[in-house]
Structure 1
Amino acid sequence: TTTTNPCSLLLHVVTWNVATADPPDDISSLLHLNSPKSPDLYVIGLQEVYAAPHRFIMDLAVEDSWSLLFMSRLAPRGYLKVSSIRMQGLLLLFFSRLAHVPFIRDVQAAYTRTGFFGYWGNKGGVSIRLSFYGHMLCFLNCHLAAHMEYASQRVDEFEYILDTQTFYPKKMPQILDHQLVFWFGDLNFRIQDHDMHFVRNCITSQKFNLLWSKDQLTMVKTKEALLQEFQEGPLDFPPTFKFDRFSDNYDSSGKKRKPAWTDRILWRVKPKEPPSKEEDEFPLKLTQDSYTSNMEYGISDHKPVIGIFTLELKKMYETPLVRVCAEGEWSADFDAMVIYSPLQPFPSSAWDWIGLYRVGFRSISDYITYTWVKDDEVSFNNELTQVYVSKDEIPVLGGECVLCYYSSVLQCIVGISSPFKVSASAQHSRHTHTHTHTHTNTHTSLHLEIYLSL
């Protein structure tokens, strides 16, 4: 079912070179958590996340401290980490409000190493692509070559990333095939020609526009047709690099690096193909509401940059692929029943499963327990199917939970139940605390064992 009315959604995009620092205690202003309008999607791209070998191995075993921080702040507000990708210092996180999750499909992530100067792997790009209500979106977080003289090198690296990242299915194999592409990160473009005195005067007097014509990205755009397809809001904020840590002062070290807008957020809506009858194939519009830096964070020599966008689109579908619900009363005293039924044909598989989650769960791997779907299920069968969850798998303490149907073919959640109450167990009340702890945190304890063994 396609809706005719455009739907308006809010996107919050962050890029930040964190210069190997540990996360700050408070990220409220970074995520605008006190704003009256809550985003539908958060997309967070970090560069230079600390990636010394021992730390990187630990982060693979247990989520890295940045991911944990964002999940712990966003999950209680109803956001799920749908996907993430890490390549050494580059980290990209995609969060969605839970209501949209069953309409996010074809999720894939990719990475490309660049760094031709012997820094193999610490520069490059990581991306997440997905279908959102039937529209193909791609988010690309880059960290490009540093230093003033390498502007053309940065363009070459960007084009190399675009050329090498490929996705399936074949109809949209590359980044630029997507209807909407966000390109952001520490792109490392500098301010050319002007001397330090002039640059600093322009910043102090907030006449940023006097520097725009010598911003390297603005300059290379005039020569590169590909870059002209990418839009960017006006740079009406102070250059975000390079600061003395824990201050608003630009580099006072011996090197006295010239300030620059290294950290950027650009976007590209795929150009419409002639003839005009294809107009309806791209019922998607993006407008930028704000583009700012956040000066209050001092842990890095870069300030974070935040872009807020309104995405208008026509939903290609409004019904999830599967309806799933908890039948009857749930408690750890008896086996419980799950009922599900496909609402439209989709490529189901015997590897599909239904997870039980606490309300406010952080990511797909946060399930308390799961049950496999029926092996003999036919994809096109609309009938109700029942599966059971053993009472031994249900949390003794009870609480508010949801069920999520995970499609192994589509690699995403395709149906979420309404929240329901799991009653606390009558029989186990004396052993409640210990039982639940060992049961529901199997993931954590496993991670902890790996972590400690390192």
Structure 2
Amino acid sequence: MWLTLAANKILEDDRLNDEDSSLANSGTSSAEIQNFTSWNVGGIATPADLNMEDLLDTRNNLADIYVLGFQEIVPLNAGNIIAQENKSIYMQWNSLIRTALNKPPEHRRVGKEKVQQVIHHIFECIISKQMVGIFITIWARTPLLPYIRHTSVSSVGCGIFGCLGNKGSVSVRFCLHETSFCFVCSHLASGGKEGDNIIYNITSQDYVIWLGDLNYRIYLPEPTTRSLVNDRQWSTLLQNDQLKAELRGGCTFEGWNEEEIEFAPTYKYNPDSDDYYGCNNQKGKKGKSRTPAWCDRIIWFGKGLKQTQYSRGECKLSDHRPVRAIFTAEVKVQCQSTENSVKMFS
């Protein structure tokens, strides 16, 4: 399963006042933040009152670009896998996101002090794409919209019969100024290799961020894993994590990176609980007890990207916890003198 992405940063008034001319002419650099979020919502109906502010961290910061990836926004039954996508579902998610991002600034805080005067940034959805339960949506501040070009989307199903969309990936590409970005949201099968071909096809972009329920597990017996989880021995568990092993091996994932994980495994929880599934000898489909694992991940590729945060959210809606990452990125800006300069975006 692949994580989704989101971004937060509150921008200074003086930077906002001269932002448009700076973006057009460049010559300077600034550091902005992109926050990416991935969440497998387990096919649970979207609560109308779900508060996305905690997930997007909008009370503390506002970013330039938010990228959110979801998995299982619909139950993965035969009807949903074969039927035409239900647009009303992803429209509900976008409505919740729009409300959270565009809430008036008096409702936001910086640290412990209430923000008194912050220019209200309007965020617009620049692109959204759903494939069965996989959904990616990208939001940007309106001053950036003139500089976002060449948007495109693609989807690859690798589920039932090797082609249906219950498992697979949705990718979005665009250029910000002169720099190309690719964001991939995936929901992969446990123990599968569906991601291999995706990797080879996307690294031609300047920057790639891959998030979702990637479904990598831990190479340890279940009793050992559960004992280490109870003792919060993350480093020992991560030494036996399948994805970390592949990243270290540098074969399939050559050139890819993942920030250090300092949070508990994101799967599998009892819904509306802090207890891992199976802690009371529970068994799932085919007798599986679902050993805890970091199924939900965010990895990245490209020189000039810098990850500044990697964390998880604590919403108990589904059997997965969401994950978040914040990045800054060097972006080439075409100057009036036709020379390229480098700016920092996040």
CA distance in 1, matches of 2:70, 2:141: 21
Secondary structure, in 3 states, of the residue corresponding to 1:70? Answer: helix
TM-score by length of structure 2 reads 0.76
Corresponding residue for 2:70?
46
CA separation of 1:119/1:239 partners in 2, compared to 1, >3 Å: closer, same or farther? farther
Q: After superposition, where does 1:81-120 map in structure 2 within 5 Å? A: 81-115=125-159, 120=164
Counterpart amino acid of residue 78 in structure 1: I
Q: Deviations over 1:34-86 (max 9, x none)?
A: 11x31111000001111665797573368532222212322445110000111
CA distance in 1, matches of 2:196, 2:131: 19
Answer yes or no: is 1:68 the counterpart of 2:95. Answer: yes
Corresponding residue for 1:10?
33
Q: Deviations over 1:208-255 (max 9, x none)?
A: 001111101112234443403111011110000000000010013223
Corresponding residue for 1:268?
301
Deviation at 1:116, TM superposition (A): 5.6
CA distance in 2, matches of 1:184, 1:68: 22
Q: Would you say the 8 A contact 1:5–1:314 is kept in 2?
A: no
- Higher relative CO (Cα under 8 Å, sequence separation at least 6) belongs to 2
CA-atom RMSD in angstroms: 2.5
Q: After superposition, where does 1:277-356 map in structure 2 within 5 Å? A: 285-295=304-314, 297-316=315-334
CA distance in 1, matches of 2:333, 2:62: 20
Corresponding residue for 1:141?
185
Q: Would you say the 8 A contact 2:153–2:170 is kept in 1?
A: yes
CA distance in 2, matches of 1:161, 1:314: 26
CA separation of 1:63/1:305 partners in 2, compared to 1, >3 Å: closer, same or farther? closer
Secondary structure, in 3 states, of the residue corresponding to 2:215? Answer: coil
Counterpart amino acid of residue 49 in structure 1: I
CA distance in 1, matches of 2:124, 2:39: 21
Corresponding residue for 2:268?
242
CA distance in 2, matches of 1:29, 1:235: 20
Larger Rg computed on CA atoms: 1
Deviation at 1:2, TM superposition (A): 5.2
Long gaps (5+) in structure 1: 164-173, 271-284, 319-454
Q: Would you say the 8 A contact 2:80–2:132 is kept in 1?
A: no
Aligned residues: percent identity?
30
Q: Would you say the 8 A contact 2:73–2:89 is kept in 1?
A: no
CA distance in 1, matches of 2:290, 2:88: 38
* Deviates most, 127-136 or 197-206: 197-206
Long gaps (5+) in structure 2: 1-23, 104-120, 337-346
Secondary structure, in 3 states, of the residue corresponding to 1:5? Answer: coil
Secondary structure, in 3 states, of the residue corresponding to 1:44? Answer: strand
TM-score by length of structure 1 reads 0.59
CA separation of 1:213/1:117 partners in 2, compared to 1, >3 Å: closer, same or farther? farther
Aligned partner (choices 54, 77, 99) of residue 29 of structure 1: 54
Aligned length: 286
Secondary structure, in 3 states, of the residue corresponding to 2:32? Answer: strand
CA distance in 2, matches of 1:7, 1:135: 16
Secondary structure, in 3 states, of the residue corresponding to 1:267? Answer: strand
Corresponding residue for 2:209?
182
